[in-house]
Amino acid sequence: MTTTTIIADGQVTVPKEMLLAPNTQTGGKVDIETMPDDVIRVFPQTLNTSDAAGMLEANVQFTIEGTDEAVAAFRRSSG
């Protein structure tokens, strides 16, 4: 655990070792969440699925039947 200080204007200095963690960088955005037990969690924002839509080119077609078959096969294999 690392301790830091919240200054008068509400800013928090993030320690260097945390900036070296995966998906974090100076100027990057973070999500902050307050838990029911008053714990504050900070998550680096990463690329989500909707942001990635259209980034990859693929000529893949899905059908309801094919999707149903894949789900059924997965369920059989996972016990």
Q: What is the largest CA-CA distance in the chain?
A: 59
Would you give the distance in Å from CA 54 to the centre of its chain?
Answer: 19
Name the helix (H) or strand (E) containing 40: strand 40-44
Residue 17 CB partners (closer than 8 Å, separation 6+): 2
Query: Which residue type, as a one-letter code, is found at position 46?
Result: T
The model carries a pTM of 0.45
**Is the model's pLDDT at 5 over the cut of 80?**
yes
Average pLDDT over residues 53-59: 64
Name residue, tokens 């900036």. Answer: 19
**Is the model's pLDDT at 49 over the cut of 70?**
no
